[in-house]
Structure 1
Amino acid sequence: MGKQKTYKNFLKVTVILLSTLFGIGYLPILGGTFASLAGVFTFILFFKSNLSFFLFTLITIFISFPLSSWGERIFEKKDAKEIVIDDFSGMLISLLFLPKKGPFIFLAFLLFRLFDFLKIYPANKLEKLKGGFGIVGDDLCAGIYTNIFLHVFKFILKISS
């Protein structure tokens, strides 16, 4: 019985660490903004190739759904403010296949936060889904909007990666 309790405690701590992005979600204000900044710094500091960043983004998105659902149960609140892995995941999508240039990164951050705040259709509908799908869905939508906007901008200005 002791091993099972230890295992459950380990899982709970793991879910809390990952869903709060190692405690960022516990910040009293702007947790989502700081989680988005963590996504920016992850992009800048740790990834040299588009492929490795793409794979990291896919894995992060994949684990965001169950982590957010489990986090919601642990925090006993719908879309608990402590859960910020959704903002991190959305920011990663915003940066996919973009040049690692300051203006693009800055615009990606600003646009992602704007789209996340505005909840433009279908983000407003996705947010109403239950569990991890509702928590993560609207942020993924904001990330997709940001990414499309910046790729169109890049194409119009004929900027190379």
Structure 2
Amino acid sequence: MSFNKTILTDPIHFLAFGFGSGLLPKAPGTWGTLIAIPIWLLLSQLSLEYYLLATALLSVLGIWICGASSEKLGVHDHGGIVWDEICGFLVAMIAIPVTWYWLLLGFILFRFFDIMKPWPIKILDKKVKGGFGIMIDDIIAGALAAVILQLALYFLN
């Protein structure tokens, strides 16, 4: 069985690879973040409490999904595993208005922090292993983006 077929037919890999978006040849993290947009649009219709609960549940589930997929592949944090980007973007977009410009700013900020990996993200990315290690750097990248978005909302509104 080919690698792509394995990813698309195994439910754990399918989720970890962002419904197959992590299989795209260039910039899988960016594709994974794009896949997060319709999920965010759906969850943004919930109250803040339910949005936070859904994001937390998806993130905790992500620790298991990413860890299991990584273990099955025998590769720590395979580049195609993008469930962490999905959850990180959901963190970035907590309580953000549903408009194209806030969406674009959130996307850019999250991708910036995820790619650049400023302190403490870089340290966590290198030192923490397993599913938690795969998830934590993106969750913190999302949190840093969220802080900037919330400050922008505060000062611009």
TM-score of the alignment, normalized to the shorter chain, above 0.5? yes
User: What are the Cα deviations for residues 17-59 of structure 1, in whole angstroms up to 9, with x where unaligned?
Assistant: 1111211111111211111111122222454123332222111
Task: Output the TM-score relative to the length of structure 1.
Answer: 0.85
Q: How many residues align?
A: 147
Q: Which residue of 2 aligns with 1:138?
A: 137
Residue 65 (1) aligns with residue 69 (2)? no
SS of residue in 1 equivalent to 2:10: helix
Deviation at 1:93, TM superposition (A): 0.4
Quote the Cα distance in structure 2 between the aligned partners of 1:77 and 1:30.
18
What is the CA–CA distance in structure 2 between the aligned matches of 1:41 and 1:66, rounded to whole Å?
23
Tell me how far apart the structure 1 counterparts of residues 64 and 40 of structure 2 sit (CA, whole Å).
23
Tell me, yes or no, if the aligned pair for 2:21 and 2:35 is still in contact at 8 Å.
no
- The match for 1:22 among 16, 19, 29 is 19
From the CA coordinates, give the structure whose radius of gyration is larger: 1
Verify the 8 A CA contact 2:113 2:144 in the aligned structure 1: yes
Once the two structures are aligned, what percentage of the paired residues are identical?
29
Gaps of 5+ in 1: 1-11
Q: 2: distance between equivalents of 1:18 and 1:124?
A: 25
Pair 1:81-2:68 in alignment: no
Q: Trace 1:1-161 onto structure 2 (pairs within 5 A).
A: 13-45=10-42, 47-49=44-46, 50-128=48-126, 129-157=128-156, 159=157
Cα shift readout 1:97-150 (whole Å, capped 9, x = no counterpart): 111122111100001000101101111111121111221111011100000001
Question: Separation in 2 of the partners of 1:89 and 1:46?
Answer: 12
Query: 4+ residue runs of structure 1 moved beyond 4 angstroms?
Result: none
